[in-house]
Structure 1
Amino acid sequence: MTITLYGIPNCDTVKKARTWLNAHGIEHAFHDFKKAGLNVDSVDAWLDHMSWEVLVNRKGTTWRGLADERKATIVDARSAAALMLESPSVIKRPVLDIDGTIHVGFSEPLYQQIFKK
């Protein structure tokens, strides 16, 4: 099983997810998309499994900082993908990829359900 956690290391929610995974001995790779960036294939794969409305964090500071004209152009998966590639901070974090199955966000009950043994 290949597990990759995508996010930004200083994000509180990403920190909680990483701490939870480590505390439960779950081996995973961490992909810092601020430093390592994102590629079209990853974003497209996420959008194959998850609605763009879930992936774009419209409550975050990055979204709120966009000009209203720019926000108005985000109307579908294609325009959302362009925004996510242009500004990865707009993505709701963390994104957890387990062998191609995508989960967005973190809560202890969610991770307990995902990793129930």
Structure 2
Amino acid sequence: MIFIGLKTCDTCRKARKALDAAGVSYDAVDIRADGLTEAQIETIIAGAGRAAAINTRSTTWRGLTETERAQAGDDASAVRLLMAHPTLMRRPVIMAEDAIHLGWTPAVQSKLGL
């Protein structure tokens, strides 16, 4: 399992705490400190969808210009946008058993058996 998030994100902290309490092992990737490769972002977009992968309610999104926001219109542009602004990614991203889960909702928790 790969856990992609931010160390400073409250939702990511809650998710990691729950995974740790359940004894789930995972490799943690901090999108700000470690970064993501273009291939990883492409995999996330392909598995979850462009609209789901980009957090349009984030502070980072609100700080973008209209031109930058328009760049999220297709998958290739969305990859470039997320490479330039990794904190736009909806978090956490949990890659487990060939499935990609975004966020830490009750639905995601139940799919992970928590």
TM-score range, shorter chain: over 0.9
Structure 1 position 72, deviation (Å): 1.9
2:71 maps to which residue?
Answer: 73
Residues in 1 aligned to 2:40 and 2:69: alpha-carbon distance in whole angstroms? 22
2:20 is aligned with 1:22: yes
Structure 1 gaps of 5+ residues are none
> Following TM superposition, by how much is the alpha carbon of 1:38 offset from its aligned partner in structure 2, in angstroms?
0.8
Normalising to structure 2: TM-score of the pair? 0.93
RMSD between superposed Cα atoms in Å: 1.4
Amino acid at match of 2:113: K
TM-score normalised by structure 1 residue count = 0.91
Counterpart-to-counterpart distance in 2, 1:44 and 1:53: 13
Cα offset, 1:109, TM superposition: 4.6
Contact 2:38–2:83 at 8 Å: present in 1 too? yes
* Distance in 2 separating the partners of 1:92 and 1:9: 14
Indicate how the Cα distance of structure 1 residues 48 and 72 shifts in structure 2: closer, same or farther if over 3 A, else same. closer
**Residue 43 of structure 1 corresponds to which residue in structure 2?**
41
Number of residue equivalences: 114
Look up the equivalent residue of 2:99 and give its one-letter code.
T
Q: What are the ranges of 5 or more consecutive residues in structure 2 without an aligned counterpart?
A: none
CA–CA distance in structure 2, aligned partners of residues 40 and 78 of structure 1: 10
Match of 1:95 in 2: 93
Q: Deviations over 1:57-93 (max 9, x none)?
A: 0000000000112112221111111111111000010
Write the distance in 2 (CA, Å) between the matches of 1:27 and 1:68.
40
Paired residue type of 1:72: A
